[in-house]
Every structure is written in structure tokens, then in C-alpha cells.
Amino acid sequence: MIPCAIPTSDDCAATPIPGQTLLVERVESDDLQAMEKDSRAVLWRAETSMSDGDEDATESSEDASVLVVQANSPQGEALRLGNDELSKEPLVPVKDHVTYSVAKKGKDDITVRVDVEKYMSSREMTPLQERWNALTMIPQPLLCVCYLLSGNWVSGAILAEATKAYQNLSQEALTEAFENDPACFDWSHLPVVGWLFRHMYAMPPLPLLFITAGCVSQLPFSFLYHWKYAHALTPSQRTDHWSRRMDQSMIHVSSALSCYGTSGYWDYFLVNCIYNADSIYRQFQPKVIPRRNQGRLGVAIAAWAIPVLRRGEWDMFMQLVVTLGIGFFLFLRYPIGGWSHAAFHLTLIPLMALLMKIGTDLPASQGTIQGAAQCFAMADLRHAYST
């Protein structure tokens, strides 16, 4: 006889099969001692006749229940005995009416894991909300690109200093110096491109280009996922879908590029490339583990903030912490329901502004900015002569 899962139940629940989805009853800590004394209130033990298996949950059963206790309880610790998977990752918190899958793999080997379908269902959004999720990903790369094209990464003070060296030159001498400097760009002969790049007379620093490249590269995948697939797929299909995997993978790409953008060190960039490449590989493994994937994303994001802290830029670091804190709160807690994710995307706008400021002030950027200031100074003086 299989022991009943619910102490108050007179009849035994149906025997669960490996991979079957079962409804979990919440267990209060005050009831743990009583449960231990009740022969019916036991966890699945060695005598449960369950065959080996570790498939993902695919079916639901409302009339079959399993008792799952809190992770820090004696019963929760007992679950870990002989189970390599549970020893590596803590049990997920037990909530009312949360769906879990149960699999039996050996004599004392019991696996309890959260059902991915239930996890994704808790974050379900309407098609309109998903469309706004897509649209709110556009401002961030637009901000980065506009900042580069505006030329504002060359400060007024640096430009004024560079202008002193050329202000006494004639228009012909300025034109010759500008055209003979390989670092200076002249877009005036290109009608459309010339208008777009009319304020950018030299190449921006590499840190700014890396940050912008990371932000821009993520946009098409995130937009496609939210606009087309997120609302059209079931929760389990959405979790496994290539568009969602690519969306999260491109966050790793963006994070790796931003690591150079905030540090200016190639070795630090290389280390983060290796880590994020491994994380991308894990994103495409057959078994989706949301907690692990989110944890690795958190590490990837923290990695580009560490150089700011290491340089002692406390004001900037605290601005990053506050901005990220608000974003993570919206992402994890969903305080305004289905609109929380779009609001989270909006917090990325000030975040990207902070990153571009960090890249501009970076020591590795100053040489390029000083050289670009000469091109900007010559271009401005040429324009003044022509008007």
C-alpha cells in the first residue's frame, strides 16, 4: 500500500508516476512534528513502487497529491539523501497550490522540482503587454546610437582646449590638416549618411562601441520573442522555444561586451567571454533550469559593475545599484502584474545612460577622445569659416 500524501485524507491518492505533475499541499512548520507521528503523512519512501525515470512533467492530476515540506525541515533534508541533483540545488520554496513534478530514480532517491509550465504560467501576459515588452526594448539602443552620433562623448572642455591649437590657421590649412588626418571623417559628400553623422568626425572610443554593440545586438532577438512568440506559445513551449533561449543568450553577449565597456581591459573581457559562452551553451541544453539560468544572468550583469567598484567610483556604483535594484524588483516581484516586465525594460534606459557615461570617463577612452577632439575642433572651425 502506498502511504497517503495528505494527513486528513481517508483514501489514498493515486500512485504518482515519474514525471507526473502533482498538486502540492502547503505544509506549515508547526505541523512537522505531528506529520512525523502520522503514518499516512510521510514522504515517498523506499517502499513506494515507482519505476526509474527523470522525465519533465507533462501531465496534470488534480486528484493526486504529494506532501512536500519546507526545504530547511528534517524531511526536506531527508529528500537530499542519495540525490545528487538536490544536493547541488536547494529545494524551491513551497507555496499554496504550486505544481511540482516527482520522479523516483532509486531506493532512497526522490526528486522534487518545480514544474516549468507552472513557473511560466505565473508570469503570463496578454498579447498587448507582450507587444509593449517588445516596444520598450527600442529606446535603450536608440539612446546609445544617438549618443555616439551626437559627438557628446567629446566634452566641451576638451574640445575648447583642442580648438586653441587650430584657431589661428587659415581655412585652407584647416582643410588640408583635416583631410590628411586618417582619424578624421568627412561625411559631407554623402547626402543621407552625411546628415546622420554630421556631428561625428572621428571614431568613438572602443568601450563605447562595445557597450552600444551589446545593446543593439540584443534588440532584434528580444523584440522578436516578445512581439511574435511570447504570447502565441504555451508556457512550456515558450520556455523551450529558440526565441526565448536566444533572447537570454544575447543578454550574455551584451554583458560580455559591456565588461570591456566598463573596464577597458582585454583580459577581463576575455574571462567574461568564456563565462558567458558557457552560459549560452547551458541555455541551449535540452533541460531548462530557470533558477540556474537566472543566477548565471545575475553573475553576468554583476561582472560589468565590478570594475566600477574596483576603481572606487562609489557615486556611479550606487547609481547602478539603485537602478538595477528597481529593475530587478519589477522583474522578480511583478508588483504591477503583466505590465511589470515593460516597466523593467524602461529602467534599462537610465542604466544604459549610466553605462555610456562610464565608458566615456574610462581611462582607456581618453586617448581616443583626445585625438577625436582635434578632428572635432578642425571641423567646427571649417564650418565657422564657411558660414
pLDDT tens-place string over residues 102-122: 444 333 334 444 444 555 555
**Mean per-residue pLDDT of the chain:** 75
Q: What is the mean pLDDT of residues 59-65?
A: 31
Sorted by where each begins, the domain ranges of the chain are 21-114, 127-369
Query: What would the 3-class secondary structure string for 98-139 be?
Result: CEEEEEEEECCEEEEEECHHHHHHCCCCCHHHHHHHHHCCCH
pLDDT on residue 57: 31
Confidence of residue 100 (pLDDT cuts 50, 70, 90): very low
pLDDT on residue 320: 96
Q: Is the pLDDT of residue 294 over 90?
A: no
Distance between CA atoms of 142 and 28, rounded to whole angstroms? 50
* One-letter amino acid for residue 289 of the chain: I
**Residue 113's beta-bridge partner residues?**
101
Shortest CA distance to 325 belongs to which of 350, 308, 307?
A: 350
Confidence of residue 48 (pLDDT cuts 50, 70, 90): very low
**Residues 6 or more apart whose Cβ sits within 8 Å of residue 8:** none
Q: Which residue has the higher pLDDT, 145 or 238?
A: 145
0.85 surpassed by pTM: no
Distance between CA atoms of 256 and 250, rounded to whole angstroms? 10
Extract the C-alpha cell encoding 340: 511589470
Q: What is the mean pLDDT of residues 198-216?
A: 95
Shortest CA distance to 208 belongs to which of 244, 262, 281, 253?
A: 262
Shortest CA distance to 223 belongs to which of 153, 132, 302?
A: 132
- Cβ contact 339:124 at 8 Å: no
Extract the C-alpha cell encoding 157: 572642455
